[in-house]
Amino acid sequence: MQESALKPGTRVFVGHRSELPDGTQRIVSVPGGEIGVIAHGGHLYAYRNRCAHQGGPVCEGMVIGRVMAAMTEDKKMLGEYFSESEPHLVCPWHGMEFLLESGESAVDPRFRLHRHEVVEDPDGTVHVVI
């Protein structure tokens, strides 16, 4: 069955919220592909597990903070550090980075991940919406 054969709005079970602590990256099979659910900073993000670059399994990549430069007031480089306020999802195939919150490429707006809505029911059950 192709994903397009699913009725829009179909919910696919992911798990219970208690099974998805920060750092979890769960891959859910759906007709026509996979969706990755990523728990980070108390939020759940879901994207099609297909990189916008060349189709790699992007949701299996690392989540790291944006690399920032630490500078003095007179612009001398002190070093680099990972931002805690802008997490990036790094595709394992070629290292393209995407903003975890939006799915946009960190460097090239032509590339964007396909985002899916995440629904958490009052009983803690989590679904993604196709």
- If binding is defined by CB under 6 A, does position 51 make contact with ligand FES? yes
CA distance linking residue 89 with residue 101, whole number of Å: 9
Buried b (16+ CB within 10 A) or exposed e, 85-124: eebbbbbeeeebbbbbeebbbbeeeebebeebebeeeeee
Q: Which of 41, 94, 108, 121 binds ligand FES (CB under 6 A)?
A: 94
Q: Is 53 in the site for ligand FES (CB under 6 A)?
A: yes
The closest alpha carbon to 65, from 79, 90, 84, belongs to: 84
Among 54, 70, 82, 117, binds ligand FES (CB under 6 A): 54
* Binds ligand FES by CB under 6 A, chosen from 65, 66, 93, 119: 93
Binding range to ligand FES, per CB under 6 A, among 9-17, 31-39, 68-76, 88-96: 88-96
Write out the residues near ligand FES by the rule CB under 6 A. 51, 53-56, 58, 91, 93-94, 96
